[in-house]
Structure 1
Amino acid sequence: MSTPLILVDELCKLITDATAELVLEAKTGPPRPPSVVAGFLDDDEPRPGKPPDDEFARAVPFVLVRFRSGEDTQDVGTATVRLIATTYSKHGQGWRDPLNVLERIRQAIITRRPLARHFDLQLPIKWEQPDEQPWPYWIAWMTTTWAIGRPILTEMEEDAYYG
């Protein structure tokens, strides 16, 4: 069955493959590709707002694959997923890194449609980078919408609900 949770997991796999060859600066450790995380960064003690600096610093660079919303209409079910790329650089041109990550992802999702033979990308894809950046971290995100499967009632199930 096609669900938003499966969509998020499939996107994580695709993004991991698409960004595997990127080498991005890290605040801690050697340069590396971004890690891909479904939902939110882990935290033993969730707090509103900014995550603890040490956890955040260890995680960067990363891409969060975050379910945003879903909708069923008469014709189709859709799920909206935001992809948040976060990188680290003390250089003024560091703003380029998250855009490079998103471009790799954009190319992968456009050329590998439908995703996992169940999810069809709905255009347009939207991406943006806010003017204000939390230097030395750089952030940009992409918002995607996907057609997802909807439950189909069998005749017996219809009788049970509407009988």
Structure 2
Amino acid sequence: MTSLDLQKSLKRKITEALVGMELTSQEGVLKKVQVFEQHLPRKVKSDSRKSEETNYPAVIVYLDEGENGQVKVLLIIATQDSNADNEGFRDTLSIAERLMQLLVKNPVIDDKYEIQDSPKWFYNDQDNYPYYFAWIETTFDIPQILREDLEAMI
């Protein structure tokens, strides 16, 4: 039971929580929210004239830092909206709200990982048009690693 196991479990839970949520992608079609671990996949150049598929909308389960027994996790939310009305923030915050509800209602993941503090969400207010970003920050308790040499000392 490691931080990477927590990351996998969160990816699965988030994917389940976002079932049925489709948002307009850069290609102009409705697309499911994709969930990635740590980073977006690298773009691969295509030889075809077909436009490349993007990774937006997306949630990235990012392991930020950890120590024995705790891991700080960021859920980075990224959407894209090319409409001139500059309303893309609504999609981003809708995903954030759904994930906040998931974490508050279910603070224990897979009966192993428990949220230590209340999750907080943040919105990136820099102008990154047509991209919109937010993130949720929380810390999870994970099973601690115990010293093996203590028993020999007793």
Q: TM-score, normalised by structure 2?
A: 0.85
Q: How many positions carry a matched residue from both structures? A: 146
Distance 2:70 2:11 in 1: 18
Q: Using the TM superposition, give the Cα deviation of residue 29 of structure 1 relative to its aligned residue in structure 2, in angstroms.
A: 5.7
Match of 2:107, SS state, is coil
The 3 A distance-change label for structure 1 pair 119 and 111 is: same
Distance 1:15 1:114 in 2: 13
Identity of aligned residues (%): 28
Query: In the TM superposition, what whole-angstrom CA distance separates every residue of 1:53-98 from its partner, at most 9, and x where no partner exists?
Result: x87x6111111111000123xxxx1100111111111231111111
Distance 1:103 1:71 in 2: 28
Q: Which has the higher helix share?
A: 1
1:40 is matched with 39
Gapped regions of structure 2 (runs ≥ 5): 45-50
Kept in 1: contact 2:103–2:119 (CA 8 A): no
Correspondence 1:105 to 2:99: yes
Gapped regions of structure 1 (runs ≥ 5): 46-53
2:72 is matched with 80
Kept in 1: contact 2:119–2:138 (CA 8 A): yes
2:122 is matched with 128
**How much is the aligned-residue C-alpha RMSD, in angstroms?**
2.2
Letter in 1 for 2:101: Q
Runs of 4+ aligned structure 1 residues displaced above 6 Å come to: none
1:48 is matched with none
Correspondence 1:146 to 2:146: no
2:81 is matched with 89
Letter in 2 for 1:85: I
Query: In the TM superposition, what whole-angstrom CA distance separates every residue of 1:84-120 from its partner, at most 9, and x where no partner exists?
Result: 1111112311111111101111111221231000000
Kept in 1: contact 2:63–2:73 (CA 8 A): yes
